[in-house]
Structure 1
């Protein structure tokens, strides 16, 4: 009986050994860090020489107008508080119109001061001014209507609303 009691005293169960578990997690972390790269460019194999590409048309320059809950920004410059526009009875907001005209004039000055090849390009001169409107989905349409009216009054004939495109369910 004494012998069994001594035997049970000596057989204290040890805690769980976490060393091997930590090794596995360390290897897993290194694996995830090395295989999750933000580099989206596809590197061609050295045995393949890819052809060079030349872009004929330059990307279109557009003005960005952002509507937040607090303010309306044209090219990241605050123009007017959103609450003022919501409370306004006018369909054309003069502050937005003036900011858009200023951006249009700035774009015309850049086109005139640019190199002669770009300034002489008829397609660039005849392209209608464009504006991209970024607005939160909670912004009321009456506010967006006032913003779009102000843009068209300023001379912007192509007004686009930025959205997130999802695949169709059909």
Structure 2
């Protein structure tokens, strides 16, 4: 019996099974350590605001530094609000029956101060993003 043909089929089968597992992974910068959570619900694809120790990024594009954001009077971060409004204008029209709420995921390092996180959340709310989610690392479930 010729096993070469069977090995090819098994290789293709394994590749197909690995690529279609349905696991969604949010790419994170290596400089960011996310907090852990036991949440079961997987995130859906949406706009991502990344807050590292030094920079604030919207979908990978730097909009402000943490030092600038912390030095601003009040809670509004103007460059972040401008970028969020720009991204909202670029969004594709929702399909009929879908929610019209704008969604954003905040991916912040677990060591950032709460005052900075509050400013980012306030700015997202002022830019009419009513659905705010936080990116976390999922803890291992109980056995």
Higher helix share: 1
C-alpha offsets along residues 7-30 of structure 1, whole Å, 9 cap, x if unaligned? Answer: xxxxxxxxxxxxxxxxxxxxxxxx
Higher RCO structure (Cα 8 Å, ≥6 apart): 2
With over 3 angstroms needed to count, the CA separation of the structure-2 counterparts of 1:167 and 1:80, relative to structure 1, is same
Of the three residues 36, 52, 55, the one matched with 1:68 is: 52
CA displacement at 1:60 relative to structure 2: 4.9
Partners of 2:18 and 2:66 in 1: CA distance: 43
C-alpha offsets along residues 84-124 of structure 1, whole Å, 9 cap, x if unaligned? Answer: 111222211111111100000000xx32xxxxxxx6x3223
Match of 1:159 in 2: 132
Partner-residue secondary structure (3-state), 2:118: helix
Partners of 1:87 and 1:71 in 2: CA distance: 13
Of the three residues 115, 138, 141, the one matched with 2:111 is: 138
Match of 2:88 in 1: 104
Provide the TM-score with structure 2 as the length reference: 0.65
With over 3 angstroms needed to count, the CA separation of the structure-2 counterparts of 1:40 and 1:99, relative to structure 1, is same
Match of 1:149 in 2: 122
Number of corresponding residues: 107
With over 3 angstroms needed to count, the CA separation of the structure-2 counterparts of 1:81 and 1:42, relative to structure 1, is closer
Match of 2:96 in 1: 122
Match of 2:66 in 1: 82
Partners of 1:136 and 1:39 in 2: CA distance: 34
Q: Which has the larger radius of gyration?
A: 1
Partners of 2:18 and 2:119 in 1: CA distance: 44
Structure 1 gaps of 5+ residues are: 1-37, 44-58, 112-118
Which runs of structure 1 show a deviation greater than 3 angstroms over 4 or more consecutive aligned residues? 167-170
Partners of 1:166 and 1:74 in 2: CA distance: 26
Is 1:41 the counterpart of 2:17? The answer is yes
RMSD: 2.6
Provide the TM-score with structure 1 as the length reference: 0.56
Higher strand share: 2
